Amino acid sequence: MAFGRRRQAEEPAEGPEVTEEPAETAEEAPAEAGAAKAESAAGGPWDSEESFPELQRLDFGALQVPVAPGLGFQVNFEATQVDEEGNPLDGRPVAVLVQYEESAMQLQVFAAPKRSGIWDDVRRETAKDIQEEAQGQTQEGEGPFGSELLAMVPAALTEEVLAEMPPEVREQIPAEFVEQGWAPQIIRFLGVDGPRWFLQAVVQGAAIEDEEQWQVLEDVLRGVVVHRGDAPMPPRELLELQIPQEFSEAGEDGQEEGVETFDPFERGPEITEVR
């Protein structure tokens, strides 16, 4: 999901136009940036320049994400070229999806100003966009990483959507939702302002209410390490992601398969690679 200027799909949660700040120069020392990082009760997410706990992590370039038993990982690609029918021909990675049982957490990381965070603005823009464009409802609250946003958006339940669902999932949908053609979908937005970066986490599924599943995803988020790099970038520009070696090895073993992309709002043509 993109936010901000809607100029390109790589930007974080959709919203009204904002003024782009000039790119920072590589020579500017981020001495004041450390204060922008949100304080959390148990450390991370971490900046790569900090001293952080040693954990087994997958290296996605700008994001290093902890691995643990039961976790699945997916990389969401955004098409950079499409054919005449709109089918993707080439793409670049734009998000990391962490899956655990019936829950999923999408991670994206963006450049941010040196002297201030952007989560407050992003949160307001996201809430406005959900209310005005998705006809949803939002509520702010406090969580383990500070201020967060809980949203309810109507999800279509067309015959096509129902037909693609596994039978065990379809059987759990209340008849009233099927009759009205939509069901409420709950989405949780979390943000962390770091030194010249902003990390956004979007959670869906059972972890919204299931504390055990949420705790697993929370531990993952706390263990994330962000590598900002020194390149000058305008605020809200997506930091570069890459495919871990483990993904390529899985593909060579014939274990790669297509998985539906997790994205609360339509982003456009995407290709997916999974571990």
Contacts of 270 (CB under 8 A, 6+ apart): 76, 77, 78, 79, 88, 91, 261, 263
Return averaged pLDDT per consecutive 10 residues of the chain, 275 residues in all: 35 39 38 41 81 91 94 88 76 92 96 92 96 93 96 90 81 86 93 96 95 97 95 93 78 42 33 34
Q: CA 60, CA 94: separation in Å to the nearest integer?
A: 10
Task: List the Cα angle 44/95/162 in 5-degree steps.
Answer: 120
> Measuring CA to CA, how many Å separate 108 from each of 1, 192, 227?
9, 11, 12
pLDDT at residue 119, as a whole number: 97
Handedness of CA 207, 40, 66, 235 (dihedral sign): positive
Domain ranges for the chain? 46-246
- Helix/strand/coil for 264: coil
Q: Are the C-beta atoms of residues 240 and 61 closer than 8 Å to each other?
A: yes
Whose CA is closest to 93, among 205, 246, 257, 240? 240
243 within 8 A of 273, measured Cβ to Cβ: yes
Instruction: Please report the pLDDT score of residue 30 as a whole number.
Output: 40
Question: What kind and span of H or E run contains 13?
Answer: strand 13-14
142 DSSP β-pair partners: 147
